[in-house]
């Protein structure tokens, strides 16, 4: 038979990352500390969304009335003390100030100190770089156009370079 659910606001007291649980202090009940409560997640099989709340995070907890000690952390929430910086037309994932923002128009902004891509990468549009490009190995290209000066620290090998180009006598 389906039992009754009871809910209350709590504050995360401690977390156990091994079994995805947390103990919660319940202010409404004289700050009693719960046993381990399962932290609910939208996806938990092959595709996973993992987000363990930090200690002191306010959370909403539910408990099964007929089952002693069985409870869950549904999630955390925003308040006057814990404000959101998001707007209606964007989805933001902010973890330790590394931020991925997906805008309603399809644009994606990644903000972090360092972004590492561990895969082959294909860019089908233009790539605009505002700072220097550092290449540890070689560059292979169909064609390269440059405006301004080019500096080489080593040898330049080319199949077709004319003397006019090298001497600057090209009209």
pLDDT band at 111 (very low <50, low <70, confident <90, very high): very high
Q: Which residues contact 97 (CB under 8 A, 6 or more apart)?
A: 112
Q: Which residues contact 170 (CB under 8 A, 6 or more apart)?
A: 162, 164
Walk me through the domains of the chain, giving residue ranges and CATH numbers.
5-76 (2.40.50.230), 84-118 (no CATH)
Computed over every residue of the chain, the mean pLDDT equals 86
pTM across the whole model = 0.67
β-pair partners for 33: 25
Closest CA relative to residue 34, chosen from 4, 75, 70: 70
Q: Which residues contact 106 (CB under 8 A, 6 or more apart)?
A: none
Region for residue 113 given its phi and psi (left: phi exceeds 0; alpha: psi -120 to 50; beta: otherwise)? alpha
Residues 47-82 have pLDDT tens digits of 888 889 999 999 999 998 766 678 999 999 888 887
């Amino acid at each position: 038979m389906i039992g009754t659910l009871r809910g209350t606001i709590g504050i995360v007291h401690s977390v156990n990352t091994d079994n995805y649980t947390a103990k919660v202090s319940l202010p409404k009940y004289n700050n009693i500390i719960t046993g381990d409560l399962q932290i609910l997640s939208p996806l938990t099989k092959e595709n996973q969304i993992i987000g363990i709340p930090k200690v002191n995070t306010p959370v909403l907890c539910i408990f099964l009335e007929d089952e002693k000690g069985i409870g869950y952390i549904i999630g955390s929430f925003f308040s006057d003390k814990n404000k959101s910086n998001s707007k209606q037309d964007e989805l933001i994932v902010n973890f330790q100030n590394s931020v991925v923002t997906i805008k309603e128009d399809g644009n994606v902004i990644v903000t972090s100190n360092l972004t590492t891509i561990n895969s082959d990468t294909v860019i089908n549009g233009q790539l605009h770089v505002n700072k220097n490009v550092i290449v540890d190995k070689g560059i292979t290209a169909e064609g390269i156009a440059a405006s301004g000066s080019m500096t080489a620290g080593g040898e330049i090998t080319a199949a077709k370079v004319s003397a006019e180009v090298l001497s600057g006598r090209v009209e």
